[in-house]
Amino acid sequence: MIYKKNQRSIRPLAFLLIFILLGFGLTPVLAGETEGGDSPQKVFDAAKAAGAKKDFNILAKLVAPSERPMLAFGTDMGVGMFVEFYEGEKADELKKKYQKIQDKYGVKDVVEDDSEKLQITEQTTDEEMDAHMRKRAIKRFGHVDVVNYVPDLMAIVLKMPEMADQPFFPYKKLSGLKIDGDKATGKAGEDTITFIKEGGRWYLTADTMD
């Protein structure tokens, strides 16, 4: 009965976690390569393979280096909420593991002075909010080894029963790929997949699912 009650209460958070992680563009690396891919298509194909294996070390390596603070931000938000609201018998254990990882990577809460705070009004644009979030992400995670931080965080929750059947990067086919200089876009079903080229390699951007 305890398990069933907890499963019902945590299921919405599990879906939220998946949404957030996908929203920040988790993608994997090609076999034999350490970062990025030779082309957007190869990056996308590798994403499906790594997503199926839930290999977040590989997934993190295909997020553009400039986008990785946002990847860390989204992953931390998702896992943090999962851990905070978990009600099962492992709740305390999960919280301790989560805090241990924060300490390991030196992650601390962001403290903003008045000049850094965003005053949201009806005139505030999505671009302004996105820029503000990116500044917060860099301030909190700019020093973090995201390629290792993300897998460490995900290891906390991946073996939980609520996460067993959750897909990662579930797209089946990339179509309509258009490359314009160092940027590229394609469609996967109804979703737009966005790529960026950095240091001669292709990656997914953090706002792939926005």
Determine which of 45-49, 180-184, 206-210 has the lowest per-residue pLDDT on average: 206-210
Give tens-digit pLDDT for 46-68.
888 888 888 989 888 988 999 99
pLDDT over 50 (residue 26): no
Task: Report pLDDT for 113.
Answer: 61
Nearest to 178 by CA among 189, 193, 191, 199: 193
Would you kindly state where each structural domain of the chain is located, as residue ranges? 2-204
Average pLDDT over residues 155-177: 83
pLDDT band of residue 19 (cuts 50, 70, 90) is: very low
Sign of the Cα torsion 120, 122, 128, 130 reads positive
CA-closest candidate to residue 64, choices 203, 181, 210 = 203
pLDDT at 207: 65
Please determine, for residue 145, whether its predicted confidence score (pLDDT) is greater than 90.
yes
181 or 3, higher pLDDT = 181
Is the CA virtual torsion 95, 99, 100, 102 positive or negative?
A: positive
List pLDDT tens digits, range 122-143: 777 878 887 888 888 999 999 9
**142 compared with 161, residue with greater pLDDT:** 142
Q: Give the best-scoring range by mean pLDDT among 26-40, 105-119, 142-156, 193-207.
A: 142-156
Q: What is the pLDDT of residue 128?
A: 83
Decide if 171 contacts 178 (C-beta within 8 A): no
